[in-house]
Amino acid sequence: MKYSFFVKTGIITGVLIFIVLAAGVYVRDYNEKKSIRSINAVIERVVDGDTVVLDSGEKVRLLGINAPELHHPDYPVQKYGQEAKDYLKNRVEGKKCRLEYSILDQYDKYNRLLALIYLDGALINGELVKKGLAFATPNKYISKTREFLVIENIAKKFKLGLWETEEGGQAKK
């Protein structure tokens, strides 16, 4: 009799915990979707592996990634920086893309729009990480960017691009 009481209590407790966690995920996703905006724009020019300029003249920083530097005042040109730029240029320059951004974290300190870039259903930000041409840097307002960490780990495992060496192809400071 006692055993079945504890089993039933355990099952009920487990179900309640599951319901609370599922409700939390649902509320988080619902709130995130309310804060995300989407626009269509032509990518006029690629600046580097994580920055583009739209045909409107607005600069866009690819959200959730950090490509090796090409033009940073404090860093030399970093390994795979040119490859990241070339890949991005070949992939999106002159093409109409869909951009998604959060109204909660719309611009970076350089006044660039922080966005995910989609072309023909493919998430370009994730492609750069997958090919080892950018590091994952998740954003707390768009949960999709957390997936980039998983993609980055796969690129590391297969020693792609930046991950041909343990430190990500960049000299340590």
Residues with catalytic roles:
61, 69, 112
Query: Three-state secondary structure along the chain?
Result: CHHHHHHHHHHHHHHHHHHHHHHHHHHHHHHHHHHEEEEEEEEEEEEECCEEEECCCCEEEECCEECCCCCCCCCCCCCCHHHHHHHHHHHHCCCEEEEEEECCCCECCCCCEEEEEEECCEEHHHHHHHCCCCEECCECCEHHHHHHHHHHHHHHHCCCHHHHCCCCCCCCC
